[in-house]
Amino acid sequence: MAAHSLSPSLYRLLFAVKYASLHSRCCAVHKKAQYSTIYNPSEKTFEKILIANRGEIACRVIKTCKKMGIKTVAVHSDVDSSAVHAKMADEAVCVGPAPTSKSYLNMDAIMDAIRTTGAQAVHPGYGFLSENKEFAKRLAAEGVTFIGPDTHAIQAMGDKIESKLIAKAAKVNTIPGFDGVVKTAEEAVKIAQDIGYPVMIKASAGGGGKGMRIAWNDEETREGFRFSSQEAASSFGDDRLLIEKYIDNPRHIEIQVLADKHGNALWLNERECSIQRRNQKVVEEAPSTFLDSVTRQAMGEQAVQLAKAVQYSSAGTVEFLVDSKKNFYFLEMNTRLQVEHPITECITGLDLVEQMIRVAKGYRLQHKQEDIPINGWAIESRVYAEDPYKSFGLPSIGRLSQYHEPLNLSNVRVDSGIQEGSDISIYYDPMISKLVTYGATRSEALARMEDALDNYVIRGVTHNIPLLREIITHPRFISGDISTNFLPEVYPDGFKGHQLEADTRRELLASAAALYITAQLRSQRFLGEVEVSGQWDLASPLLPLTINSTHKMLQCLSRDASGNIVLQYLGTSFQVRVLSKLAAELNSYMPEKVPEDTSSILRSPMPGTMVAVSVKPGDTVAEGQEICVIEAMKMQNSLTAVKQAKVKSVHCKPGDTVGEGDLLVELE
Amino acid sequence: MAAFSVARSSCGFLSGLRVSFRSLAQVKHGAVAASVPQTSLLRDSRWYSVSHLSVKERIDKKRKAALIGGGQKRIDAQHKRGKLTARERVELLLDPDSFVETDMFVEHRCSDFGMEQDRNKFPGDSVVTGRGRINGRLVYVFSQDFTVFGGSLSGAHAQKICKIMDQAMTVGAPVIGLNDSGGARIQEGVESLAGYADIFLRNVMASGVVPQISLIMGPCAGGAVYSPALTDFTFMVKDTSYLFITGPDVVKSVTNEDVTQEELGGAKTHTSVSGVAHHAFENDVEALLNLREIPPPFRECHDPSDRLVPSLDTIVPFESTKAYDMLDIIQAIVDEREFFEIMPNYAKNIVVGFARMNGRTVGIVGNQPKVASGCLDINSSVKGARFVRFCDAFNIPIITFVDVPGFLPGTAQEYGGIIRHGAKLLFAFAEATVPKITIITRKAYGGAYDVMSSKHLRGDVNYAWPSAEVAVMGAKGAVQIIFRGKDNQAEAEAEYVEKFANPFPAAVRGFVDDIIEPSTTRRKICRDLDVLASKKQVNPWKKHANIPL
């Protein structure tokens, strides 16, 4: 009956929609993109390992430990007491309250946990204490093995300046024109001018992209200096800074190395990590489309030279910037397991965690360089609890009210440390999971990634799947034409979600209409008057549809009685309104509700803590002037005025905890 | 009189009452019907003399006139206000082509002030009445027509409404009123007042017999407000509907308060401050489309009834002072996460609303720890009590989620009569004979524990989650009484927590039937509802109980 009232054009579209069998896809052969743990029971190893980390990486380490028959101890903060990693481990010890400085960075508490549980070794994961030489020293003093390189290598590579000197000495290509520890803003400007713009400013002690800012002129250098030194102080307790020449349009390619304590070292091929936003990686792949075997080998050999130069043992990563002419420059060495290690595991078949544990126990490497293959292609998407429509991703928090990983698909690996019902809090990294797909070829891996993203059900927090799906299907990405500037170049006006073409628009509308009608028909079915064939499951968040004889996976995010349907289609969520012809006609009489004028009020774009408020009532602010700074997920974000105006009232003060959408400042 | 004697002789069966009432209504109805031919006969003769149209043509003409109500100009004015016409509303509310109209030819009978002139006669007068179907289910509808004399209520208007209400009761179908009326038809004087009273009486008689829903889509002022107030649910449309006893002008002259219509009786006021309305919608179209789903009818279910909900295992925070959102629990447990909340903005410390479990409609009541720790106060008790009684009246099972630290203390509450109002919720749960399933998620303290559909109030199935704490009060308060003067309060507190802050004291006494894993809650409730479908429980016969109003 509802069908009758649909507008005729929409109704005609419906004939194109065939109902796909829901279960047809779930029956696919279970095949996983995996690494194999070649655990040899006769090889004596540790009896108990403590994992000084949380989330997915803690779970990842525990998995391998279980395969190797090693008992595990998790540490957790009080809010993490029912977290997945704490439940997965054989033992769990609470090491303090939620803020990381009081729990996961609390060395005293972690040392106590090691003593009480009798753990023989500690795996630090990444972040937190993984590159903290102090921690490694304290472990050594108590006779506990640190699963990672020794203190010397951590110290040498942890310092950006020292590491480059060592790299130079080891005949590794380094970036021209860098040097200097910076104390004041003016000194920073002078150094920058000497090097020549653009320059990059970052905390010496920081890893990854955190605290890294690019300056194109003196003004930005001063600003960058201020932010980076603040961030350096708050995140690392070490306010030294580094300024160096910034290579325009570079690729970020890194080499995984693995070394033992007997002077042997291997390179396990490269990872292409050029897709970044704010210098944090989003999508990674291995191998890289850009490297030829000669460059690969040259990079690999230099990476091994560097590892040997610092007597490196364990798994480590040597990061390079590669310019368009395949010149590569040493960037830094990460003396830990990288976030993106799964893609290396996929193409080499090695279990890096297992190798780290073996090496830490003192065993020699099992492989020779010629044993290291490149088998197939692996892609990793970092699924974050972030709103991709705001600067390619501002943190979002919330409770995962529904959460299903796409593990029913073959060649999919999901590394996560959360489950349905988990909270994504402001205290920790907003990463939900690492979604890895694998294939014999790149296009196979990419196609599987598309499927996996479409099948991934995440409700309760805003996530970046729309962005991820757009990236992996973008022609430039598919052709391999990428650089670290990919996102700002491809989306100069910011990410706006998938843009529908005429045919995809029709598909979306037809799907929404079909869904609407199915729901309408079901409402009448209690009478037994209407019989509908097809396999719709209105309770399922996934909508497997066959549209014009191709399978498409859509997701229904919400559906209400007013005909508002939100569908996730091609990664992006679209709001569709399906109304009967009558309702649509009558709806034209309904008045538009006037939305709030937002130009004169500043609302918090994300949840976080107020670090600084730079204005007070009565001040006049210029367009673009900083109003306040919010710290969220360890990032400082500056909020600026969108127009010149007088400040009417200020509703926040430093130290306040603010939620997304909270009113901060009103302008006149 | 007849009603009383029949009720007594039949030893108080409700059906007896209903039958007797029906006959009473028919007598009244008959009287009204008798008066209609008289007036129409008069009118007919007049028509006959001035025009020579055949009867068929005259019928067509009248029907046409009825369809455009007060005329195109007034229809346009109605649209300009962002409102739909009475007929558009009915059409949108009901399944296509299902509306069967009654009394299209009824006209008002007033002859004063020039009202008898032809231009003041509108076939059907200022209301559209009839029956139709919503998703195939029969409903009776009246829709007041603002384009005819501002939707004012004449004797004929009231008579049309009464007729369909009587029919609805005869066949046991819900009544939906779409209100958009300026008030009484002043020209008719006391006849209009009589009309209101006739409707009120039927509202009262139908209460608990058929569901009655009012949707306020325009003004509704003065005595007229009592008809919606007597119905089970009152919904409003934002910005275009008002409900008040006296308007801003009278308020100004009597109490010297300056207040706008919107502030005095708009949707926001009544859904968040006064608690008069149960829900507000953005506009006419949304309101009518949503009304089609209220209360959610029994339907086919795609959500597996044995679905486990692992997210519930971690939802209750470790610290018993930390809040969580009861809606998270409700949405995770019910079919397809669909929960139609009643009064979402009023007395937010209790959550009530409808959902389905394995396709069956259920009423859900839950304390909301996120607001005022989920304590019971005057407003939340009354909100809960009215909802529970609705469910009980219409045989809808009640599922109660308990996390209540007790009743809210303070002079405001005591002076306001929390004793009397809190008793309403207690009364409602105790007298309800529908299937009652209770889940204690965390705190169930003191008298509030008893109130919240406890085993002692004939709860059919009472579960506790492992995080449940059933006790007379929280540890701190209890320790101060039990161990008054003892130095080591912390130790005493720990002892109390060990003994009482867990589900065992209640479980060992059989006051909860089982301690269940939260993830299995949906599965258990669905199974229990299957079993309880055949529940039969009767309260002792009485004329009616005396709930502490």
Q: Which residues from B are below 8 Å from A591, CB to CB?
A: 82, 239, 283
Q: Which residues from A are below 8 Å from B84, CB to CB?
A: 586, 589
Structure token digits, residue A504: 């995809």
Q: What is the pTM of this model?
A: 0.77
| Proportion of chain A above pLDDT 90, given as a percent | 43
Whether residue A362 lies inside any domain: the answer is yes
* Residues A124/A135, Cβ–Cβ less than 8 Å: yes
A305: Cβ contacts below 8 Å, ≥ 6 apart: A170, A171, A172
A589:B335 CB<8 A? no
Q: Give yes or no: residues A545 and A619 share one domain.
A: no
Residue with tokens 């509700």: A593
A525:B84 CB<8 A? no
Q: Compute CA distances B132 → A28, B146, B151, whole Å.
A: 48, 21, 22
Q: Is B223 a catalytic residue?
A: yes
Structural domain spans, chain B: 55-293, 310-468+512-532
B280: Cβ contacts below 8 Å, ≥ 6 apart: B235, B236, B237, B238, B267, B268, B270, B271
Q: Give yes or no: residues A545 and A644 share one domain.
A: no
**Among partner residues B239, B300, B313, which is closest to A522 by beta-carbon distance?**
B300
- Helix axis angle, B14-50 to B2-9, nearest 10°: 150
pLDDT in the model for residue B2: 34
Distance between CA atoms of A97 and B433, rounded to whole angstroms? 48
User: Quick check: helix, strand or coil at residue A120?
Assistant: coil
Distance between CA atoms of B1 and A653, rounded to whole angstroms? 72
Distance between CA atoms of B26 and B34, rounded to whole angstroms? 12
A587:B298 CB<8 A? no
Q: Compute the nearest-CA separation of B239 from chain A (Å).
A: 10
Superfamily of domain B310-468+512-532: 2-enoyl-CoA Hydratase; Chain A, domain 1 (3.90.226.10)
Q: Give yes or no: residues A349 and A486 share one domain.
A: yes
**Among partner residues B79, B300, B318, which is closest to A589 by beta-carbon distance?**
B79
**CB proximity B310 to A under 8 Å:** yes
At A324, which amino acid appears? S
β-strand partners of B91: none
pLDDT tens-place values along chain B, 549 residues long: 333 333 333 333 333 333 333 333 333 333 333 333 444 444 444 444 455 678 889 899 999 999 998 899 999 999 999 999 999 999 999 999 999 999 999 999 888 888 888 888 899 999 999 999 998 889 999 999 999 999 999 999 999 999 999 999 999 999 999 999 989 998 898 999 999 999 999 999 999 999 999 999 999 988 889 999 999 999 999 999 999 999 899 999 999 999 999 999 999 999 999 999 999 999 999 999 999 887 666 777 888 999 999 989 989 987 777 889 999 999 999 998 999 999 999 999 999 999 999 989 999 999 999 888 899 999 999 999 999 999 999 999 999 999 999 999 999 999 999 999 999 999 999 999 999 999 999 999 999 999 999 999 999 999 999 999 998 887 777 887 877 777 777 888 888 888 888 999 999 999 999 999 999 999 999 999 999 999 999 999 999 999 998
User: Quick check: helix, strand or coil at residue A609?
Assistant: strand
Residue with tokens 């009394």: B103
Least confident of A81-90, A563-572, A603-612, B220-229: A603-612
Whether residue A30 lies inside any domain: the answer is no
Q: Give yes or no: residues A372 and A224 share one domain.
A: no
Q: Is B422 exposed, middle or buried (0-12, 13-18, 19+ CB in 10 A)?
A: buried
Mean pLDDT over A221-236 rounds to 76
Q: Is B119 exposed, middle or buried (0-12, 13-18, 19+ CB in 10 A)?
A: exposed
Residue with tokens 């039949």: B10
For B271, phi and psi rounded to 5 degrees? -90, -20
Work out the angle at residue B191's Cα, subtended by the Cα atoms of residues B188 and B197, and round it to the nearest 5 degrees: 135
**The domain boundary residue, chosen from A147, A170, A200:** A147
User: Quick check: helix, strand or coil at residue A381?
Assistant: strand
Instruction: Find the closest chain A residue to B136 by CA distance.
Output: A524
* Residues A624/A578, Cβ–Cβ less than 8 Å: no
Average pLDDT value for chain A:
84
| Proportion of chain A above pLDDT 70, given as a percent | 88
User: Kind and range of the H or E element at B180?
Assistant: none
**Among partner residues B285, B299, B312, which is closest to A523 by beta-carbon distance?**
B299
Whether residue A103 lies inside any domain: the answer is yes
At B490, which amino acid appears? A
User: Kind and range of the H or E element at A666?
Assistant: strand A663-667
| Closest to A367 in 3D by CA, of A296, A262, A266, A261 | A266
User: Kind and range of the H or E element at A460?
Assistant: none
Over the stretch A591-604, which tens digit does the pLDDT of each residue have? 887 766 666 778 88
Higher pLDDT, B494 or A241: B494
Just list the catalytic residues of A: 336
Distance between CA atoms of A407 and B315, rounded to whole angstroms? 24
Distance between CA atoms of A651 and A601, rounded to whole angstroms? 11
Structure token digits, residue B127: 């209301």
**The domain boundary residue, chosen from A458, A474, A490:** A490
Q: Give yes or no: residues A264 and A296 share one domain.
A: yes
**Among partner residues A522, A526, A590, which is closest to B82 by beta-carbon distance?**
A590
Q: Give yes or no: residues A294 and A362 share one domain.
A: yes
Q: Give yes or no: residues A622 and A550 share one domain.
A: no
**Among partner residues B96, B286, B289, which is closest to A1 by beta-carbon distance?**
B96
**The domain boundary residue, chosen from A245, A266, A292:** A245
Q: Give yes or no: residues A581 and A608 share one domain.
A: no
| Closest to B406 in 3D by CA, of B434, B448, B357 | B448
Whether residue A662 lies inside any domain: the answer is yes
Domain total in chain A: 5
Structure token digits, residue B219: 């003004």
A537:B336 CB<8 A? no
pLDDT in the model for residue A211: 63
User: What is the pLDDT confidence band of residue A534, given thresholds at 50, 70 and 90?
Assistant: very low
Question: Domain B55-293: which topology?
Answer: 2-enoyl-CoA Hydratase; Chain A, domain 1 (3.90.226)
B299:A525 CB<8 A? yes
Q: Which residues from B are below 8 Å from A400, CB to CB?
A: 311
Residue with tokens 């995010």: A557
pLDDT in the model for residue A219: 86
**Among partner residues A400, A526, A561, which is closest to B297 by beta-carbon distance?**
A526
Per annotation, catalytic residue among B16, B223, B247, B477:
B223
* Residues B425/B388, Cβ–Cβ less than 8 Å: yes
User: Quick check: helix, strand or coil at residue B117?
Assistant: coil
Q: Give yes or no: residues A393 and A466 share one domain.
A: yes
**CB proximity B344 to A under 8 Å:** no
Q: What is the CATH classification number for the domain harbouring A185?
A: 3.30.1490.20
Q: Give yes or no: residues A217 and A113 share one domain.
A: no
Whether residue A220 lies inside any domain: the answer is yes
Q: Which residues from B are below 8 Å from A593, CB to CB?
A: 239, 282
Q: What is the CB neighbour count within 10 angstroms for residue B430?
A: 18
Q: Which residues from B are below 8 Å from A520, CB to CB?
A: 135
Mean pLDDT over A611-630 rounds to 82
Q: Is the pLDDT of residue A342 over 70?
A: yes
**CB proximity B60 to A under 8 Å:** no
Distance between CA atoms of A506 and A10, rounded to whole angstroms? 9
Distance between CA atoms of B97 and B175, rounded to whole angstroms? 19
A401:B328 CB<8 A? yes
Say if strands B212-216 and B175-179 run parallel, antiparallel, or are unpaired: parallel
Over the stretch A500-527, which tens digit does the pLDDT of each residue have? 998 889 889 888 888 888 888 877 765 4
DSSP state of A211: T
| Closest to B154 in 3D by CA, of B74, B224, B230 | B224
Structure token digits, residue B436: 């009652």
Mean pLDDT over A90-107 rounds to 92
Q: Is B393 a catalytic residue?
A: no
pLDDT in the model for residue A647: 86
Residue A447's domain comprises: 251-490
pLDDT in the model for residue B45: 47
Structure token digits, residue B83: 């409102």
Q: Give yes or no: residues A328 and A203 share one domain.
A: no
Q: Give yes or no: residues A458 and A560 share one domain.
A: no
Residue with tokens 């401050």: B273
Exposure class string for A315-343: b at 16+ Cβ within 10 A, else e: bbbbbbbbeeeeebbbbbbbbbbbbbbbb
Q: Which residues from A are below 8 Å from B521, CB to CB?
A: none
Q: Is the pLDDT of residue A662 over 90?
A: no
* Residues B208/B21, Cβ–Cβ less than 8 Å: no
User: Kind and range of the H or E element at A310?
Assistant: none
A71: Cβ contacts below 8 Å, ≥ 6 apart: A47, A48, A49, A65, A90, A91
Task: Classify the phi-psi angles of B531: left when phi > 0, otherwise alpha if psi is within -120 to 50, otherwise beta.
Answer: alpha
Distance between CA atoms of A192 and A222, rounded to whole angstroms? 10
pLDDT in the model for residue A206: 61
Distance of alpha carbon A342 from the chain centroid: 13
Per annotation, catalytic residue among B16, B222, B416, B477:
B222
Residue with tokens 């970044």: A276
User: What is the pLDDT confidence band of residue A537, given thresholds at 50, 70 and 90?
Assistant: confident
Instruction: Find the closest chain A residue to B334 by CA distance.
Output: A539
Instruction: Find the closest chain A residue to B304 by CA distance.
Output: A539
A620: Cβ contacts below 8 Å, ≥ 6 apart: A644, A645, A646, A647
Distance between CA atoms of A646 and A615, rounded to whole angstroms? 10
